[in-house]
Structure 1
Amino acid sequence: MIERNARLDIIIVGAGLGGLAAAVSCALAHHRVVIYEASKELAEIGAGLQITPNASRLLRRWGLEAEVEAVAAEPTLLAVHRYSNGKVLAEERDFDMKMRRKYGAPFLDMHRADLQKILFNKALSLGVRAELGFRVSRVVSGPEVVLESGERVHGDLVIGADGLWSKCRESMLGKSDQPLPTGDLAYRIVLELDKITDPELREWINNPQVHFWLGPYSHAVGYSLRNGTMYNIVMLCPDDLPKDVSRSKGSVGEMKALFSGWDPILTRFLEQVDQVDKWKLMHREEVQSWTNVEKNFVLIGDSCHPMLPYLAQGANSSLEDAAVLGGLLSYVKSKEQLPRAITLYERLRKSRSEKIVRETFHQRDAFHMPDGEAQELRDSLFASQFGKSISCKFPSRWTCPEVQPWLYGYDSYHEADEANKSHPLSSIGDIGSASPQSL
């Protein structure tokens, strides 16, 4: 147990998934935590999430397994289809059992709002103070958070978890820094089972599975939520939104036209849609550091490594950040050890997260091939491994024997523990030049 006078006063900016996860992990490490969130309430916004084993094991560690699984869907199959006729290019049967057997934790599909609510309630139960309706304008040395009201709040550590449009990132860099378009946008759809009468579509929703459809410059993914009572579809295609628009109401007719001629089961799902939103997919350039020089101000999640959704690692990676940070802070026995913990955090997390970001672009390339020679070679590779134990770098990273274990096998708390063994926070030596591989 950390001595009371050694507990840190931690300020978290943002009550998204990363900020709430950080609040939970830091509170479990016996530090005092307050969150400042601009929204006045945590509304049910967003859509589906794929919680992969690298994150679901953290939810279990935080005592949330039963609550999460009560509102999740666990897919029994992961299938990849050709867009035009629905031909199955690749599939992994008994996917649920294989994930638990290989990684000791489940692959779960759930609504973002459900996970946010679960994490928020857990944080409150641990004594975290949540200040909603307080917008942060900047972070200054001290460290201090400056609210739009002008009020200043001082802490021992500030964690910037304020997402893609991060004010904390701008404070860290000392300049305005706008997200960059990727050239893609997403149509996000959530359908409710009780509003659908088509028996085959109801069967798809009732029996949780993950389905991808690969097409020219576009792809779609569908999966069940809330124990098979909702269906989440994301349609990813070239961006046609104006430069200064990041989200807008979409035209259902336009969306259907873009995906006309695709697999009939998918287009039948689209016939159930009466409204849809369009989201511009954005990214950011890598930054030199996620921390300030004093090591008392740090970024996590989308504020420092926003990810395209093609590997579903945005939320999962934010939870990894939170767990590694909380795991390291559990070893802090005096405030003088904080800079060492923050240095270790950046060494552990930055290279992995940025590698995942790059891998998402590779997955987009593999999924968005226009019809032609490269697409035929890709589909031939799919065919060569169908029904077999995959033995090569696979076009679908979701079941690739190289990428999947690296993504899903990651244990944040183990990484933090091993880093502290190699570079104890209680020691005096410098770790400024330590590489991630040496930690």
Structure 2
Amino acid sequence: MVTSQSPLNIIIVGAGLAGLAAAVGCALAGHKVVVLEGARELAEVGAGLQITPNASKILLRWGLPMEEAWAEPSFCTVHRYSDGKILAHEEKFAENNRRKYNAPFVDMHRVDAQKMLYHKAVELGVEVRLSSRVSAVREKGNGAEVELKDGTTFPGDLVVGADGLWSRCRESLLGKSDEPLPTGDLAFRIVLTLDQIKDEDLRRIVAEPQLHFWIGPNAHVVGYSVRSGTMYNLVLLTPDNLPPEVARQPGSLDEMKGLFDGWDPILTRFLECVTSVDKWKLMHRAELPSWTNDSKTILLIGDSCHPMLPYLAQGANSSIEDGAVLGGILSYVKSKEQLPKAIELFEELRKKRGEKVVRETFHQRHDFHMEDGPEQEERDKLFASQLGKDQADVKFPSRWTCPVVQPWLYGYDAYKEVDEAMQRQPL
């Protein structure tokens, strides 16, 4: 990566993972960056994240102290829902990921990842302005500007919309209201501390990080440790029964336990430890024809243009990739006149991949949510054919260990991608 000799003024809307990753990437490239965030503070909310090698290699390259907060699962196991029967198991999951991708697969709390990115951005000179609610984004002169609800405007050479699923920047770019679409699924999100878990067998699962899936008809569950094995994250994916206008609300413990009654006793014992739970409607968006405007002064990244179902844990990882690729490309910009070509290249590198991952998440949902019957039996036979092997050697219903999907998903190197693209077509 080089450093730009002609700093741009970049305005980023949103201080989530996508916005902060873009801020770090662009600041490392030598540009002046302001981040506008509507919240009054970076709130301590959220649950676990799985940081896969395609993103962990970026965060480690940026010098984030991830080791202080991560838990690295040693193995990965997929269980049948009703009895906990092992369908798939990779014993050397951590070792294999490091060997194949030169980067770890780790689990973190979202708050920890956001804080690390925030502190790195500030350390690099990024200005983060809270309580800055955006009302509109528009082209202005040979750049763009952001207008806040209070009328304040921020002009820039480039405005980056990283304001998530309910993006105002997306609406400004399209010139119309654009509501997210329901997927038909919702998530119960749970984080347990060790203090909440009295069962010694369960405490050992938390303290010795490992990755577990339970898959069943129209639903599945993922469980993993965070914060060095002192907390346990559970995500329960089920059919959506929230009212159309409700995106999130407190969940009922009785409802949650009832939905998973008769599932693996290990899982239901974890659920007995839960004292509160939230329900989140899972939303998606149709693919956009472009992530940028004609003059290439407004750009969408992250959930504003490629929101992802959590079935491959790639939402955060893909957003981090966006930030690294954007910063990598902009590090080559020697004059403002090169910006349109740089943004064209960003879209060329990122749009196809982002949308491919989105589509793959729906395939993973299908393979994990099969009703009991002939198709499920064939799936389980394929699982069984790979048991006992160090790694699967055929295309696999679990992309987490699939030798076909995992390499292009986890093996992606954002900075290498940029450098190779620049060799092919310099700005």
Residue 25 (structure 2) aligns with:
25
Quote the Cα distance in structure 1 between the aligned partners of 2:392 and 2:419: 33
Report 1:186-335 matches (<5 A). Answer: 186-335=187-336
* CA-atom RMSD in angstroms: 0.8
> Structure 1: which amino acid aligns with 2:58?
L
Unpaired runs of 5+ in structure 2? none
| 8 Å CA contact retained: 1:2, 1:333 | no
Quote the Cα distance in structure 1 between the aligned partners of 2:244 and 2:195: 38
Quote the Cα distance in structure 2 between the aligned partners of 1:19 and 1:252: 34
Deviation at 1:152, TM superposition (A): 1.3
Report 1:128-143 matches (<5 A). Answer: 128-142=126-140, 143=144
Question: Which one of the candidate residues 415, 418, 421 is aligned to 1:419?
Answer: 421
SS state of the match for residue 145, structure 1?
A: strand
> Structure 1: which amino acid aligns with 2:10?
I
Per mean C-alpha deviation after superposition, the further-off stretch among 144-153 and 79-88 is 144-153
| 8 Å CA contact retained: 2:18, 2:162 | yes
Residue 12 (structure 1) aligns with:
12
Quote the Cα distance in structure 1 between the aligned partners of 2:284 and 2:201: 37
Q: 1:279-317: CA deviations, max 9, x gaps?
A: 000000000000100011100000000000000000000
Quote the Cα distance in structure 2 between the aligned partners of 1:106 and 1:2: 27
> Structure 2: which amino acid aligns with 1:129?
E
Residue 428 (structure 1) aligns with:
none
Deviation at 1:2, TM superposition (A): 5.4
Quote the Cα distance in structure 2 between the aligned partners of 1:252 and 1:365: 27
| 8 Å CA contact retained: 2:4, 2:331 | no
Residue 114 (structure 2) aligns with:
116
| 8 Å CA contact retained: 1:394, 1:401 | yes
Residue 43 (structure 1) aligns with:
43
Deviation at 1:197, TM superposition (A): 1.3
Give the TM-score of the pair, scaled to structure 2.
Answer: 0.98
1:147 and 2:148 equivalent?
yes
Deviation at 1:96, TM superposition (A): 1.0
| 8 Å CA contact retained: 2:4, 2:30 | no
SS state of the match for residue 141, structure 1?
A: strand
Quote the Cα distance in structure 2 between the aligned partners of 1:243 and 1:2: 47
Quote the Cα distance in structure 1 between the aligned partners of 2:194 and 2:155: 48
SS state of the match for residue 146, structure 1?
A: strand
Quote the Cα distance in structure 1 between the aligned partners of 2:206 and 2:394: 32
SS state of the match for residue 20, structure 2?
A: helix
| 8 Å CA contact retained: 1:45, 1:113 | yes
Quote the Cα distance in structure 1 between the aligned partners of 2:122 and 2:20: 10
> Structure 1: which amino acid aligns with 2:281?
K
Quote the Cα distance in structure 1 between the aligned partners of 2:330 and 2:270: 47
Q: 1:109-138: CA deviations, max 9, x gaps?
A: 000000000000000000000000100111
Q: 1:346-380: CA deviations, max 9, x gaps?
A: 00000000000000000000000011111111001
Quote the Cα distance in structure 2 between the aligned partners of 1:69 and 1:342: 33
Quote the Cα distance in structure 1 between the aligned partners of 2:67 and 2:406: 22
Deviation at 1:3, TM superposition (A): 6.7
Q: 1:155-201: CA deviations, max 9, x gaps?
A: 00000000000000001111100000000000000000022211011
| 8 Å CA contact retained: 2:29, 2:328 | yes
Q: 1:59-99: CA deviations, max 9, x gaps?
A: 011111xx111111000010000000000000111211111
Deviation at 1:385, TM superposition (A): 1.2
Residue 390 (structure 1) aligns with:
392
Quote the Cα distance in structure 1 between the aligned partners of 2:176 and 2:20: 26
SS state of the match for residue 15, structure 2?
A: coil
> Structure 1: which amino acid aligns with 2:420?
E
Quote the Cα distance in structure 1 between the aligned partners of 2:400 and 2:197: 29
> Structure 1: which amino acid aligns with 2:69?
V
> Structure 2: which amino acid aligns with 1:206?
A
Quote the Cα distance in structure 2 between the aligned partners of 1:168 and 1:69: 34
Report 1:308-387 matches (<5 A). Answer: 308-387=309-388
| 8 Å CA contact retained: 1:221, 1:235 | yes
SS state of the match for residue 233, structure 1?
A: strand
SS state of the match for residue 365, structure 2?
A: helix
Quote the Cα distance in structure 2 between the aligned partners of 1:94 and 1:193: 25
1:93 and 2:91 equivalent?
yes
> Structure 2: which amino acid aligns with 1:284?
R
Residue 178 (structure 1) aligns with:
179
1:77 and 2:80 equivalent?
no
SS state of the match for residue 290, structure 2?
A: coil
Quote the Cα distance in structure 1 between the aligned partners of 2:4 and 2:66: 32
Quote the Cα distance in structure 2 between the aligned partners of 1:140 and 1:298: 11
Q: 1:251-296: CA deviations, max 9, x gaps?
A: 0000000000000000000000111000000000000000100011
Quote the Cα distance in structure 1 between the aligned partners of 2:154 and 2:392: 54
Residue 165 (structure 1) aligns with:
166
Q: 1:217-249: CA deviations, max 9, x gaps?
A: 000000000000000000000000000000000
| 8 Å CA contact retained: 1:48, 1:225 | yes
Task: Give the 3 Å change call, closer, same or farther, for CA 2–80 of structure 1 in structure 2.
Answer: closer
Quote the Cα distance in structure 1 between the aligned partners of 2:185 and 2:74: 29
Give the TM-score of the pair, scaled to structure 1.
Answer: 0.95
SS state of the match for residue 227, structure 1?
A: coil
| 8 Å CA contact retained: 1:292, 1:298 | yes
Quote the Cα distance in structure 2 between the aligned partners of 1:12 and 1:338: 16
Unpaired runs of 5+ in structure 1? 426-439
| 8 Å CA contact retained: 1:48, 1:111 | yes
> Structure 1: which amino acid aligns with 2:26?
C
> Structure 1: which amino acid aligns with 2:80?
R
Quote the Cα distance in structure 2 between the aligned partners of 1:231 and 1:284: 30
